Structure 1
Amino acid sequence: MQNLAHRLERLGTETAFSVAQAAAAWKAQGNTVFPFHLGDINIPTAPNIIEAMNRAIADGHTGYCPGPGIPQLREALAEDIGSRRGITFGPDNVVVMTGGKPVITKFLQAVMNPGEEVLYPNPGFPIYESQIEYLGGTAVPYRYVPTESGFAIDLDQIRASITPNTTAIIYNDLQNPISAESTAAEREAVAKLAIEHDLWVLSDEAYFETRYEGVSSSIAALPGMAERTVILYTFSKKFAMTGSRLGCAVAPLQIAQVLSKLNTNDESCTTHYVQWAGIEALRGPQDSVQSMLDVLKGRRDAACELVNAIPGFQVAVPQSTFYLFPDVTEAMERLGHSAVGDFATAALHNTGMSFCTREHFGRRLAGEDRQYIRLAYSGIETADIRLGLGRLREWIESA
């Protein structure tokens, strides 16, 4: 039998999908499941966006198009992303891709040589770690520390982790899974380190506009950062277009040209008619965006209130994303669980609650002694949030 490539041994995955499979199997047996595991959105894409997509199909936009994206969409993205961040971008800075995820891979292909080190957040989106290692780099995690308002980056650890072999840092403000948002001081500290050590920065801004209070800021807008930062942008979260697979990188011209070439090699182009839907999303009515945020805020408020009423659970109220990352250490001790994966399985079988755990978002770091789970409320109605978390509370109280 022929052998497969050795690099596949270094390829991870988005393990939240394995939780989804377990939940589906439990539901197939006739059980009720409360789906808090995937960050999908059960709110439909706005009708005007769907109509624009269908119109583009009817108009014959079903063939190949330019690798970096159609000019009309690149222009709309440059204008929208730049204006919201206080930065001037041109269409040539924008490279359209099939969602936000390819931006991670292509950024690493563009800036990282085999053996070089890349800093990434842990807990964090698992594809960071997976792609750094798959492409032959050394994945160097940086951690977060709990605070009264959520989590903060351990800046001292980042400083200690940078070596002459460090080439880049992945920075996810408004973070998945922990909903952490940098203070201005923290953002400036990360930027200062990037400049001091001449690092490339991937700024994952998937949740830049998924927020309920306050205003988002981009690290790319800080002095000296636009020329070293690639912004990851996606239509998935803001416009409820997860299945449309549309996003982009906004990058310095030197990097944008490389990303465009990688597009040509990998996909040829992003689906033509979906790009016309993207133009409508950006330039059409925005009522649906605010409507979705209102719904998600209601879900957040209900979930936070109920989570903090569960014995042994504790979570700060996040201003952005649609995730909660509660500390469940005491609740697990109450139930006699030492492994958070076993706790999650028991919760599914006893209450129908399906959720991811800290283990799904990067390898556990040395010295971690607290246990966390992630609750995504983007794909579950408020009534079911109340019902599921109510059952979870009853189960834990009965222990």
Structure 2
Amino acid sequence: MKIARRIDGLGTETAFAVAQAAGEWKARGNRVFPFHLGDIDLPTAPHIVEAMNAAIADGKTGYCPGPGIPELREALADDIGSRRGMTISADEVVVTTGGKPVITKFLQTVMDPGEGVLYPNPGFPIYESQIEYLGGVPLPYRYVPTADGFAIDLDHLRSLITPQTTALIYNDLQNPISAESTDAEREAVAQIAQEHDLWVLSDEAYFEMRYEGASRSIAALPGMAERTVILYTFSKKFAMTGSRLGCAVAPRAVAHVISTLNTNDESCTTHFVQWAGIAALTGTQEPVRRMLEEFRARRDAVCDLVNTIPGMSVEVPQSTFYVFPDVTDTVRRMGLTSVSEFAEQALRSTGVSFCTREHFGRRQPGEDREYIRLAYSGIGLDDITEGLTRLRAWVDSV
């Protein structure tokens, strides 16, 4: 029996492969310091859990509308709009089973086979996977290091556009590199999208996972709301990764298509989880504040320690829960052939587990620096300190 050829274009979220290797190493009795997966080790707030349990007890366990229950769509429209300086109506909101399905359904809605889609590289690997799986032409645009972190190579982005390019995926507050656009860069991306009549997916999973400053949405810029789909998720802000709740905010015609795809794919998002989402949006935000305080302390500890390891350097990001250190000099001084070899040896020598640049899209021509990604959302301060101290001692010993 054959398997459909389109499966050849289907990738995966590669952090889970690293998690499997780390799990196997741990199962052999070894200590593991998990910097690899952007899960959250803090519990979902009690009032959210209570709302979910109450909804189950109240019988909200059956089917519900494909685009989401009206109460949640209204709450999302109000919250997302007010935080971005936009007016959003409930019929522009489609509830989804997490943020990730918005990527696939956006591409299914706006991209025909053979059309090009621009996407960040390094970037969330599901962008590349879904473009190829659905028959599109992947057009990865790159970032360049600056004194303040990373910036989009706008000239490179422009050079990739052809008459067959239909969409641009834009991830401000970026995974894995924690890059955040300046106002000028965000406006330049918006101008490019309008000049070339491109649809835009604005992945805003980390919009409120920030420690300083204020987030801004490209969708709020003039001329952008009518061509932009916002990806929103409850996973990060509300520590609801396993609840699988998110939404797309889209122009009405696109929202209608995504709602139809919902009906075809999963019928609806779990009914009682949606009531938990309402509680998350409208209830106390104190758990969010406390989580951000904890993550800020972890960020500071990670950056301080990384910058003491010979050959490593990283800027302190203002958002997300990742850092993306340059480890080029470390890899070279240790005589290793690749950053992948560095990651494998680090796990076995220190127990520190992390993803590398290779897990976030294919390398682009001319790349000559080596990077790793350290996620600090699932590892406490004591383990951060012990793990990175072990890593430093190992590097020092070579």
Under TM normalisation by the shorter chain, which class is it? Answer: over 0.9
Specify the alignment match of 2:105 in structure 1: 106
Shift of 1:339: 1.1
Tell me, in whole angstroms, the C-alpha distance in 1 between the residues paired with 2:145 and 2:293.
27
Equivalence for 2:8: 9
AA partner of residue 244 (structure 2): R
Q: Which amino acid aligns with 1:110?
A: T
1:23 aligned partner: 22
Matches within 5 A, 1:262-341: 262-341=261-340
Q: How many angstroms apart in 1 are the aligned matches of 2:337 and 2:295?
A: 32
Partner of 2:248, secondary structure, is: strand
Give the paired residue count: 398
**Deviation, structure 1 residue 201:** 0.1
CA distance in 1: counterparts of 2:345 and 2:255, whole angstroms: 47
CA distance in 2, matches of 1:366, 1:160: 14
Please identify runs of 4+ aligned residues in structure 1 that moved more than 6 A.
Answer: none
Match of 1:52 in 2: 51
TM-score normalized by structure 1? 0.99
| Distance in 1 separating the partners of 2:138 and 2:86 | 30
Shift of 1:77: 0.1
Alignment of 1:213-252 (within 5 A): 213-252=212-251
Partner of 2:175: 176
Aligned to 2:126: 127
**Deviation of residue 334 (structure 1)?**
1.2
Could you list the per-position Cα deviations for residues 160-204 of structure 1 after superposition, in whole angstroms to 9, with x for gaps in the alignment?
A: 111100000000000000000000000000000000000000000
SS state at 1:227 partner:
helix
Q: Which amino acid aligns with 2:172?
A: D
Structure 1 vs Structure 2: percent identity of aligned residues?
75
2:397 and 2:146 mapped to 1: Cα distance? Answer: 30
- Which residue of structure 1 lines up, in the alignment, with residue 211 of structure 2? 212
Q: Which residue of 2 aligns with 1:363?
A: 362
Partner of 1:192: 191
Is 1:384–2:347 an aligned residue pair? no
Shift of 1:17: 0.6
Q: Which residue of 1 aligns with 2:164?
A: 165
**Where does structure 2 lack aligned partners over 5 or more consecutive residues?**
none
State the partner residue of 1:39.
38
Structure 1 position 88, deviation (Å): 0.3
SS at match of 1:237: coil
- Counterparts of 2:163 and 2:348, CA distance in 1: 49
Matched, 1:115 2:114: yes
CA shift at 1:249, angstroms? 0.1
> 1:320 is paired with a residue of what secondary structure?
coil
Residues in 1 aligned to 2:13 and 2:279: alpha-carbon distance in whole angstroms: 30
SS of 2:212's equivalent in the other structure is coil
Return the alpha-carbon distance in structure 1 between the equivalents of residues 376 and 76 of structure 2. Answer: 28
Q: Deviations over 1:334-355 (max 9, x none)?
A: 1111211111000000000000
Unmatched 5+ residue regions in structure 1?
A: none
Amino acid at match of 1:78: A
Counterpart CA distance in 1 for 2:6 and 2:290 is 44
Shift of 1:31: 0.7
Question: Are 1:144 and 2:143 counterparts?
Answer: yes
Deviates more, 1:328-337 or 1:227-236: 328-337
Match status 1:66 vs 2:36? no
Matched AA of 2:63: Y
Give distance in 2, aligned partners of 1:334 and 1:346.
Answer: 14
What is the distance in 1 between the residues matched to 2:337 and 2:75? Answer: 51
Following the alignment from structure 2 to structure 1, what is the Cα–Cα distance between the partners of residues 337 and 238? Answer: 39
Shift of 1:368: 0.3
Cα separation, 2, equivalents of 1:349 and 1:163: 46
* 1:148 Cα deviation after fit: 1.0
Give the secondary-structure state (helix, strand or coil) at the position aligned to 1:75: helix
Q: Which residue of 1 aligns with 2:254?
A: 255
* Counterpart amino acid of residue 279 in structure 2: E
CA distance in 1: counterparts of 2:31 and 2:149, whole angstroms: 31
Distance 1:162 1:223 in 2: 22
Distance (Å, rounded) in 1 between the aligned partners of 2:87 and 2:248: 15
